[in-house]
A and B are shown apart, each in its own frame.
Chain A
Amino acid sequence: MAIIPALPRRYHNASIWALYALGLCPAAWYFYLAATGGLGFNPVKEFEHLLGIWALRFIIATLMITPLRDLAGINWLRYRRALGLIAFYYVLMHFTVYALLDLRLDLGAVGGDIARRPYITIGFACLLMLIPLAVTSNNWSIRKLATAWNRLHKLIYLIAIGGAIHYVLAVKSVTLVPFAHIALIALLLAYRPLRRPIMNWKRGNRPTTKIAQSKI
């Protein structure tokens, strides 16, 4: 069923660490470019925007794990924690660059922006909502919280919606690149309520199940 050959189990841990390293490459690369004049004449803004876009991309990646497994039979569940945490690191870096390099730690200006400007309010709320998810991303929390963990981590849907709104409101006009990101988020969120019927239908079509049902 899987399109991609399965990775032998003994490489699973290494591949997760590789994902962390790979995932942080864009940030490292853009930091290098920004610091050496490779990001144009307004490197702070450019760096800030790139970190935000990559945060959104990793949120999109975490949302893709479930449909990939359901629809394509690719089980990358083991990578979801890393993708989510990388997304959190990007959001954190995005906010840090904005507060530290863009507004030069003028906390009054940061607070004013958060209070008065809806897209920054939403962006900041997303950062806050990501914190409990990051804190409870360890195995111990998963065991301890049990079903509450599942409920808590549904917050990612709200964060994805907030991230998309933050992005749309931040650009002057919605062109192809913002549209593509937002459309992907919309699609991935729209899949969630459809998941049960789709999976039921898939199971219902499996010959073994059909035989089982016909016996009833």
Chain B
Amino acid sequence: APLAAVPSAYKPDEKLTPREAVTTYNNFYEFGVNKEDPSQNAGDFKPAPWSVKVEGMVGKPREFGLEELVKMPLEDRTYRMRCVEGWSMVIPWIGFPLSTILDQVEPLGSARYVSFETVVRPEEMPGQKGFFQPLPWPYIEGLRLDEARHPLTILAIGLYGETLPNQNGAPIRLVVPWKYGFKSIKSIVRISLVEQQPQTTWKNANAREYGFYSNVNPSVDHPRWSQATEQRIGEGGLFGTARRPTLPFNGYADQVASLYAGLDLKANY
């Protein structure tokens, strides 16, 4: 369904990735591990009705219904998205800062991290049932509270002027543009404010390859491939353009590098 939002200053001077690529080249293991699986297998998923519980170390824990979330101050936010696998896109999201709902629940002083959880619905998400499930469910992710409150961090409910397609994390997902894509958890049902660094799915699966921070960093290689360059999806085809250099913090260093002052980014990958 069409979704209206106000323009924002977050608009890189780069060509958008075609809508078809954004909605058919996806990693969303709840619907299968191949890139085309989510768009092919997400048809039975019901993104409404929906609600997101926000709880934990907060003064006013509460549940946000979908009808409430669509009335948040929605903005157009075009961000680069860099997958840990070495490809990238430029996506016009519609969403609102995560800080908007964090402010409403009033985090306690002791809260230092935010943890997120994806819905578990094996009957609607074929990747969550059967043998050889690639990951344990629910998918969980986390951010430091200052990362979560950063103005670049949004909850997205749409892209390309419409509500989110199921394969892109309907009805509501996180978008953290300076981190590898797997941090931007999809189809969120729970947000908890916690004191300790939360568990995260890919770190639990393989801590050597996927860290808690997972900031886009061309100088820290993935153990199995270099992160120095990336393939921009939808550009070039088989013989087309060369890979482009990957930028520190995915090009958002001016805005976010200060969050990590004094932190060894090689050790805290």
B-binding residues in A (CB < 8 A): 34-35, 37, 40-45, 47, 101, 103-104, 109, 112-113, 116-117, 119, 169-170, 172-176, 179
Is B21's CB within 8 Å of the partner chain A? yes
* Number of cross-chain contacts by CB at 8 Å: 60
A41 engages B33 (CB within 8 Å): no
A42, A101, A169, A179: the one within 8 Å of B239 (CB): A101
Is B135's CB within 8 Å of the partner chain A? yes
By secondary structure, the B interface counts as: loop
**Inter-chain contacts of A103 with B (CB < 8 A):** 243
Minimal Cβ-Cβ distance residue in A for B223: A117
CA of A121 to CA of B148, assembled, Å: 39
A41 engages B238 (CB within 8 Å): no
What is the CB-to-nearest-CB distance from A192 to chain B, in angstroms, rounded to a whole number?
Answer: 27
Which of B35, B132, B231, B233 gathers most chain A CB within 10 Å? B132
A-binding residues in B (CB < 8 A): 20-21, 24-25, 29, 33, 35-36, 85, 87, 131-132, 134-135, 205, 221, 223-226, 231, 233-234, 237-239, 242-243
**Inter-chain contacts of B243 with A (CB < 8 A):** 103-104
A104 engages B242 (CB within 8 Å): yes
On whether A101 and B33 interact (CB within 8 A), knowing A42-B87, A42-B233, A172-B134, the answer reads: no
CA of A37 to CA of B21, assembled, Å: 11
What is the CB-to-nearest-CB distance from B241 to chain A, in angstroms, rounded to a whole number?
Answer: 9
* Interface pairs (14), CB distance under 8 Å: A34-B237, A40-B35, A41-B20, A41-B21, A41-B233, A42-B87, A44-B238, A113-B226, A117-B225, A119-B224, A169-B224, A175-B134, A176-B132, A179-B132
On whether A35 and B238 interact (CB within 8 A), knowing A41-B233, A42-B35, A173-B134, the answer reads: yes
A42 engages B25 (CB within 8 Å): yes
What is the CB-to-nearest-CB distance from B226 to chain A, in angstroms, rounded to a whole number?
Answer: 6
**Inter-chain contacts of B239 with A (CB < 8 A):** 35, 101
CA of A116 to CA of B25, assembled, Å: 29
